[in-house]
Amino acid sequence: MKTMEELQRAFEKSFEDHVMTRAERGDLNSSLKENGLTENQKSVLRSSLFDFARSLINAENYDVAINWLEEVTKLLIRNHSETVTDHTSVFFSPGETCRQAIIGLIRSAEQQLLICVFTISDNEITSEIMAARARGVNVQIITDNEKQYDHGSDIFTMRNKGVLVHCDNTPSHMHHKFAVADSKRVLTGSYNWTHSAAHDNQENVLVTDDVTAVKMYSHEFERLWKAFESDGFSTKSSNV
């Protein structure tokens, strides 16, 4: 059983990567059930957590903080005999929320990260992908064969550093933008993993741990991975 201070620290820790994962929700739900807080204790904890979020909130992470507070509220009003349900969050750009949602998903991966994205040129996201690989996560990337040659593309950099990459080898574009972490959560939407998507474009990102959605996106990744196994990759320059 945790003290109130320990419970509060556990909630605050779930804000660090800007996404409350399903595992974190499950752990927090179990702790609340074990502690059997009174309604007054829940009210005090909720007030403290709102003060915590208020101290950190700014224009860039506003939507992230609101989503986190929504999760906090759901947990504190939950009948703790029930199980944690699936959850979906939605983010929009311009702004940092879509990028932070992507970074949060990457940071949450513990074993496997499947990335199927039209183009990757955002250095912050690339750094997180490389950090995931460095901590032992199996990272696989599918991308478009033409976009890998774009100015600023990070595909060659990651591939040359050992990240497994397959490129579309058809005349058409591989235009997907989705990623699956540990077969538990999927991120998708219109958002290309580029600097301009965060700062200029009207884009969207959806993150869900809906079991059916995760399974279907995972199957699509596996299908494309096999289809593009012989992608004719070359380090030679391209005129596309």
Active-site positions? Answer: 175, 177, 182
Q: CA 137, CA 140: separation in Å to the nearest integer?
A: 10
- The structure tokens listed for 111 are 């074993």
The CA distances from residue 73 to 8, 49, 88, 94, in Å, are 13, 10, 15, 27
The CA distances from residue 1 to 5, 7, 80, in Å, are 12, 9, 15
Q: What is the phi/psi pair of residue 119, to 5°? A: -155, 145
SS (H, E, C) 128-192: HHHHHHHCCCEEEEEECCCHHHCCCCCHHHHHHCCCEEEECCCCCCCCCEEEEECCCEEEECCCC
Beta carbons of 200 and 118 less than 8 angstroms apart: no
Task: Say how many residues make up the chain.
Answer: 240
Amino acid at position 104, single letter: G
The CA distances from residue 154 to 119, 167, 195, in Å, are 9, 13, 12
135 burial (CB, 10 Å; 0-12 / 13-18 / 19+) is exposed
Helix, strand or coil for residue 234?
coil
